[in-house]
Structure 1
Amino acid sequence: MILNTRFLARRQLQRLEDRGYKMLSAVEMEQFFLNRTTLEPLFHEADYNSTLILHKHENLLFDMQDKLTESGIEVTSVKVELSPGQFEFTLEPKFGIECADMAFRCREALIEVGLQHDVQVTFMPKIGAKIFPAGAHYNHSLWTLGHECAFYDAEDPDKMSDVARYWIGGIQKHACAMTAVVCPTVNCYHRLHRPWTLSHNGWIIASRVHTFRMKVGEPGSTYLENRLPSSASNPYLVMAATIAAGVDGIQNKIEPVTGEGLEELPHSLDEALTLLEADEVLVEALGKDFVQMFCGIKRELEIEKLKDVCITEDREEDFEMERKMYLMTP
């Protein structure tokens, strides 16, 4: 029985390498900074990209940046996001398992350094009503072992290769089942099917209106942004599920779908778990034992305990129940 999520990601990376590819990827990590005593957001302004808010909290942010750097965690940018108390840390793209390793370590480091400043850092995706949720967008591209971008084709009108298209097709095919592991908590589903949020498995070039966004340019700036993972996601499982779905697309030359071919994303964790159990490709990639245990734990220890939560509405009493479960403070 293999339950180590890092091993699962490494196994999928090996599948890629066996086919002549390696993965370059990075994570955009969003999280909420709360006052450790009151659990109120560290700031109440909702001012996207505000330099004033950065200035007000520069001692904390500089300390975090310095300690992350000392730990070998490369942060390319820090910015204020859309909600009170919400920051985004963007990590340097890395090949192979190093991306997931860096994201995992960064999460732990932000929590630890935050506590030294009496700040509770939480990766709970939605901490309250009228709060824009937090994600962990997974930006990635495939490269040949000869270090050429496999997603780029200079002759194509969109500069996209067939490999990129098949990869997207595979991810679209498995997106609904993948949701279970990249949106792994009940709270995550307040983030879906809302205005300005994700609702289906669509893809598009450049625009932010779909779940999967292809960015094209020169070889080094051509990549796919998987916007589905929430801030609560395990970076190793995000990597493993993304590769498994994409490889299926390449193997079977699955064309991307648009319009009437799109599927709605799951509306609840329970629905997503059922879809995961029925997806043979993802079950094989993650392991039948892992999927069985993952789904059992989620149903018994989380869904059952939060069975009174209404996902379709943003009721403050629901968030109060969820905060008691997810905002566990040291």
Structure 2
Amino acid sequence: MAKDWTATLPDAARAYLENRRLDEVECIISDLPGIARGKAVPAAKFARQDYFHLPDSIFYQTITGDWGEAAGDEGFIERDMILKPDMSTASAAPWTGDWTLQVIHDAYDRNDDPIPFSPRNVLKRVVDLYHKQGWKPIVAPEMEFFLVARNLDPAKKIEPMMGRSGRPAAARQAYSMTAVDEFGPVIDDIYDFAEAQGFEIDGITQEGGAGQLEINLRHGNPVKLADEVFFFKRLIREAALRHDCFATFMAKPIAEEPGSAMHIHHSVADLETGKNIFSGPNGGDTDAFFTFIGGLQTHLPGVIAVMAPYVNSYRRYVRDNAAPINLEWGRDNRTTGIRIPISGPDARRIENRLTGMDANPYLAMAASLAAGYLGMMNETRAEPQFRGDAYDGDEAIPRDLWSALDLFDAATDMHEILGPEFARVYSIVKRTEYEGFLSVISPWEREHLLLNV
């Protein structure tokens, strides 16, 4: 690391450190679930290092801390990876007690090749495929989450956080500014943390659930936006903890409330001209527009296991409950899995409404972009536009994780885009998680089966 490395930090990071002494740097990387893993090092030591090591086994670990048998032919030897900082990601950790920066790292092997099952590398791989075709993929994610009461007992149901009024119904009014005000102190900290980190929030709204909020981010480079979602999950959790509540990104934390999605808006620009390839010279829909949709309709079933990665994820896909159950597409129609928002030709985009907020943002964006890429490359035409209420139609997506993983394992065309080694490791880790779930007897089983069967 150069001696004056702080002079080249992003503007927001330099502003955060102005007239202050940097104490610590958190060197982090996303694992498969999206948990930040890494090391915290003194700033002086970070200035002297160009990389650090972590074992590749961090990508074999499940959300419960168990291990998938995904190490390959050499066995579970926990080979060290070389983790190199991407200094463009350096941002404040404003909730810490001292002056701390976070820096996202990329994972390489000893031959300087990207680790194929590192989520950020998977997304970079897909973005590179677009670039090779002269295309620039653009995304804009929407993040839904709940603020809930502190919950220290897994056997206890999750309850919404009580806002200023003390009435949960007050926080269930979609798009209500009064409902947003219920959580004003938490939202104020979210804004303050985001500003310190240099993130631009496009807006915060109250969603349909009690204590459910949505944050929209400005459109941009997929890797940069995935970094921001990765950072935002931690930021929001920290803001909530300051006010004696939890922020949860579970797809369906409360049975009676709607689930939380991470809708992903897509557009594609020509690398040379910067023009949106979904719009023609006269502003009409292009072949690329229809084949991108066709790719989503054809290939999303094979990657639902990436967009809905846990057993709880499938509780979100409920008919007539603000979550899609189909792969239809429609214009300004929120009942379809693929929605075309109202926009002018330059901003024409395609919204994938299937992804849950519990998904790893790098992997979810990679999978969605990969499906659209295959559609454009294979010239897969979209089905006719759906008109009306798509919930009246048949379900077109798997309803449980095991079925989704079977489809994922069979989606070899998607494996080639995302990386065969990633697909192998991901399937093993997710099946290990599922087997762990099956080993637990639930309260429902004890209540209804103990004395009745």
TM-score range, shorter chain: 0.7 to 0.9
Report the residue type matching 1:148 in the other structure. K
- 1:293 is displaced (CA, Å) by 1.9
- Give the distance between the partners of 1:87 and 1:240, measured in 2 at CA: 25
Return the match for 2:372 from 243, 246, 253.
246
Aligned residue in 2 for 1:188 = 313
1:295 aligns with 2:432: no
RMSD: 2.3
- Give the distance between the partners of 2:299 and 2:395, measured in 1 at CA: 10
Report the residue type matching 1:112 in the other structure. E
Please give the secondary structure, in 2, of the residue aligned with 1:200.
Answer: coil
- Give the distance between the partners of 2:182 and 2:377, measured in 1 at CA: 51
Structure 1 pair 57/105, CA: closer, same or farther in 2 (3 Å)? same
- Give the distance between the partners of 2:395 and 2:161, measured in 1 at CA: 38
Aligned residue in 2 for 1:149 = 276
1:174 aligns with 2:299: yes
TM (norm. structure 1) is: 0.88
Identify which range, 14-23 or 56-65, moves more after superposition: 56-65
Structure 1 pair 283/262, CA: closer, same or farther in 2 (3 Å)? farther
Report the residue type matching 2:371 in the other structure. A
Return the match for 2:132 from 7, 11, 18.
18
- 1:246 is displaced (CA, Å) by 1.1
- Give a deviation string over 1:105-163, Cα, whole Å, max 9, x none: 1111111221122221110111122111110100110011121011112546xx31111
1:88 aligns with 2:214: yes
Report the residue type matching 1:293 in the other structure. V
Which structure has the larger Rg over C-alpha atoms? 2
- 1:10 is displaced (CA, Å) by 0.7
Identity among equivalent pairs (%): 29
1:267 aligns with 2:399: yes
Please give the secondary structure, in 2, of the residue aligned with 1:264.
Answer: coil
- Give the distance between the partners of 1:201 and 1:263, measured in 2 at CA: 8
Identify which range, 284-293 or 219-228, moves more after superposition: 284-293
- Give a deviation string over 1:44-87, Cα, whole Å, max 9, x none: 22111121122232122011111112102211111111111111
Do the aligned residues in 1 keep the contact of 2:125 with 2:418 (CA within 8 Å)? no
- 1:303 is displaced (CA, Å) by 4.5
Between Structure 1 and Structure 2, the one with more helix by share is 1
Do the aligned residues in 1 keep the contact of 2:402 with 2:431 (CA within 8 Å)? yes
TM (norm. structure 2) is: 0.65
Return the match for 1:57 from 180, 183, 186.
183
Aligned residue in 2 for 1:79 = 205
1:119 aligns with 2:251: no
Aligned residue in 2 for 1:282 = 414
Do the aligned residues in 2 keep the contact of 1:32 with 1:87 (CA within 8 Å)? yes
- Give the distance between the partners of 1:169 and 1:104, measured in 2 at CA: 29
- 1:262 is displaced (CA, Å) by 8.2
Do the aligned residues in 2 keep the contact of 1:78 with 1:88 (CA within 8 Å)? yes
Do the aligned residues in 2 keep the contact of 1:126 with 1:133 (CA within 8 Å)? yes
Structure 2 unmatched ranges of 5 or more: 1-114, 153-157, 163-167, 387-392, 448-453
Please give the secondary structure, in 1, of the residue aligned with 2:437.
Answer: coil
How many residue pairs get aligned? The number is 311
- Give a deviation string over 1:151-188, Cα, whole Å, max 9, x none: 112546xx311111111101110111121101111101
* Superposition pairs of residues 40-55 of structure 1, within 5 angstroms: 40-43=159-162, 44-45=168-169, 46-55=172-181
Aligned residue in 2 for 1:323 = none
Do the aligned residues in 1 keep the contact of 2:275 with 2:346 (CA within 8 Å)? no
- Give the distance between the partners of 2:269 and 2:441, measured in 1 at CA: 43
Return the match for 1:208 from 308, 315, 334.
334
Do the aligned residues in 2 keep the contact of 1:41 with 1:84 (CA within 8 Å)? yes
- Give the distance between the partners of 2:128 and 2:288, measured in 1 at CA: 18
Do the aligned residues in 1 keep the contact of 2:278 with 2:348 (CA within 8 Å)? yes
- Give the distance between the partners of 2:376 and 2:317, measured in 1 at CA: 28
